[in-house]
Structure 1
Amino acid sequence: MILAAGKGDINTIIGGIAPNWGPFGNLGQEARIMVEVVMAVAILLCLAIAIWGAAKQRIGATALRDTFSAEQGKGLIVAGLTGVFIIGSLGTLFTIVYGMAV
């Protein structure tokens, strides 16, 4: 029997948002965990903003026929998804900038 989801744990899920520590490898374990938690909370907040924008766009465009609300919803979607991208790539950006400085 082949399992579709092999051995997986929470590290597989959060490993994508945990930064590649590179130059910051000498941070303590507690500091690393705090940075990872802050990044995860920020990503969840940005996703919530994007979801709120999608709901605002949908409700404004269909139920209320309010074009201003629909445009505002588009802006929230873009802002939320941009925030997710920026936060998700911070570890890589820090490593590249540090590598260029050295």
Structure 2
Amino acid sequence: MPDISPINHLQGSSVPASIQRTQVDAPATTASSPKHTEIRDRVEISDHARHLEKLRQSPDIRQSKIDAARSEIAQGTYETPDRLRAALLRLLDEIEPS
């Protein structure tokens, strides 16, 4: 079954990581000593996983954006014909993609 990542981080963070087991032969000290084998695990974290972790640590709310919107609403400059047109076009594009 192929790995299918979730579309957003709300569904959990099952980020695929590459895990490899390597076997390293320890150097023999004498000809009569038994050969010892050391097994080491190695984990590689993908760039996608690193990016998701940065997003997880970032604040959910950007207060500067909220303050700017509140200020524009208070001044009566938030709702402009251009902004309304852009919002309507985005809505129509979501409903009926080109």
Higher strand share: 2
Higher helix share: 1
Higher RCO, 1 vs 2 (CA within 8 Å, ≥6 residues apart): 1
TM-score (norm 1): 0.28
